[in-house]
Amino acid sequence: MEESHMHKRLAVTTAVDVIAGNADLLFEILLRLPARSLIRFSIVCKLWFSVITSMQFRLSHCRILAFSNALSPSGIYFYNCLTKSQKIESLAFADNVTSLPPIQFLDQMAPNIRDTYEITQAKVMQSCNGLLMYVFTSKTDVGIIKIGIVYNPAKKEARVLRSPYKKYDDKFVYYNLISDPSEPPYYKVLCVTRLGSWFSDIDVSVYVPESESWSSCCRSSVPSFMNFESGVFWNGAIHWIGEYSSVYFDVNSEKVAMISMPPRPQGYCSQKIRYFGEWGGHLHLIQVQSLYAKKFNVLELDKDTWKWSVKYRVHLARLISSFPDMVQQTSFGIQYAFSILSVIRGEKEEDSVLLLTIPGKVVAYNLVRKTAKVVRELPGEVGDTLCFNHVSAYQYTESLFPLFSS
């Protein structure tokens, strides 16, 4: 009996050794594991490290996740717009994860960049399928310089990009990121520059990693007050929003086009857009009547008709009564201190939430049940003036997405 058990154990051990030592078989097995596990397993042995870190494996792993719709965010990085501090915070969604990877490349790269440039601002501007777009802004004797950095926080890899424009003031240069693991070249960077005396014309240049160079792909006339920071990648295009207009760049045709905006809510407030973002293949927009609005609609853009329609109706009266610190007396009168981080669509409709920062807390407000849950405590005091950005949160997706072609 003992001899039989011994033979079975030896057979199992031999099978494990065969699998662990067969690079092709190991390749196929490891492809089915999440990126977080693969990053840990890469230190098991030299063979596993060689397989997991190879460009072929990393691209294959990203493609499998993309085709299986498994590239879902596991957390967000965000700026708390209610405080004076612009420190980036993070929030993990998984129960077994307490924090997201820190953006460590700043500590390593910033000193080198500061030797050449006087950095006046460093900020995450966009996220797309596991990658972040980070931008350094610097003042020089000849004007404003912006340095774009593509960063994979899961792998702690960064790629520095210099502006393709040498004769224009980089004050009006905007970097945007497009990453699509389902097809090559897998990721691109757009550099949008305003031209002309009224800046109503733009030039769009594209950076492709394989060529390691910029190429100007199109020029177009756009509304003067469009904001080309923090673009949102959705439905094969990168979208930008303005108070009165919406513009997108189609990746395949490399052309710029416009989308009709929904009617603006009535009210004297000039800045009515409080949120613009994508989640799970859905593009959302939130407009408000005024800075003190506590009632608003969540709009969604239809993929087929490209028309906006109301998806959720929100009234925060109950939330405000539960958290009276949200009521702030400012120089503009009474305002409600909340910043919209994200519209998160659940697998079931009743699990969809609106993620908000309120004084001292991050709150998940259920869009169907109309209930609220505190998901994180936040440090910092509310500023004297409430300034709201329509994009202040950036999705984190665990991914082996490579930044270099070889």
pLDDT in tens, 251-262: 889 999 998 889
Residue 4's φ and ψ, nearest 5 degrees, are -65, -45
Lowest mean pLDDT among 283-297, 302-316, 345-359: 283-297
Count the Cβ atoms, other than its own, within 10 Å of residue 263. Answer: 8
Q: What is the pLDDT of residues 355-384, one digit of tens each?
A: 999 999 999 999 999 999 999 998 877 766
Q: What is the pLDDT of residues 182-238, one digit of tens each?
A: 777 778 899 998 886 566 888 899 998 777 788 888 899 888 778 888 899 999 899
- State the SS3 of the chain: CHHHHHHHHHHHHHHHHHHHHCHHHHHHHHCCCCHHHHHHHCCCCHHHHHHHHCHHHHHHHHHHHHHCCCCCCCEEEEECCCECCCCEEEEECCCCCCCCCCCCHHHHHHHHHHHHCEEEEEEEEEEECCEEEEEEEEEECCEEEEEEEEEECCCCEEEEECCCCCCCCHHHEEEEEEECCCCCCCEEEEEEEEECCCCCEEEEEEEECCCCEEEEEEEEECCCCCCCCCCEEECCEEEEECCCCEEEEECCCCEEEEECCCCCCCCCCCCCEEEEEEECCEEEEEECCCCCCCEEEEEEECCCCCCEEEEEEEECHHHHHHCHHHEEEECCEEEECCEEEEEECCCCHHHCEEEEEECCEEEEEECCCCCEEEEEECCCCECCCCCCCCCCEEEECCCCCCCCCC
Look up the pTM and report it.
0.86
Nearest alpha-carbon partner for 175 in 218, 223, 137, 209: 137
**Residue 345 clears pLDDT 90, i.e. is over it:** yes
Instruction: Answer whether 344's CB lies under 8 Å from 278's CB.
Output: no
What is the predicted pLDDT for the residue at 86?
A: 74
| Structure-token pair, residue 38 | 């693969």
**Residue 52 clears pLDDT 60, i.e. is over it:** yes
**Residue 17 clears pLDDT 70, i.e. is over it:** no
Q: Which residues contact 43 (CB under 8 A, 6 or more apart)?
A: 49
Indicate the pLDDT class of residue 10, thresholds 50, 70 and 90.
Answer: very low
More confident residue, 237 or 121: 237
Residue 249's φ and ψ, nearest 5 degrees, are -115, 115
Place of tokens 């270099």: 404
What is the predicted pLDDT for the residue at 12?
A: 45
Q: Is 42 exposed, middle or buried (0-12, 13-18, 19+ CB in 10 A)?
A: middle
Cα separation, 249 vs 254, whole angstroms: 6
More confident residue, 331 or 101: 101
Angle between helices 2-21 and 23-30 (to 10 degrees): 90
| Structure-token pair, residue 55 | 């460009």
Place of tokens 């609220």: 372
What is the predicted pLDDT for the residue at 190?
A: 92
**Residue 298 clears pLDDT 70, i.e. is over it:** yes
List the chain domain ranges: 2-66, 76-100+262-390, 101-261
**Residue 169 clears pLDDT 80, i.e. is over it:** no
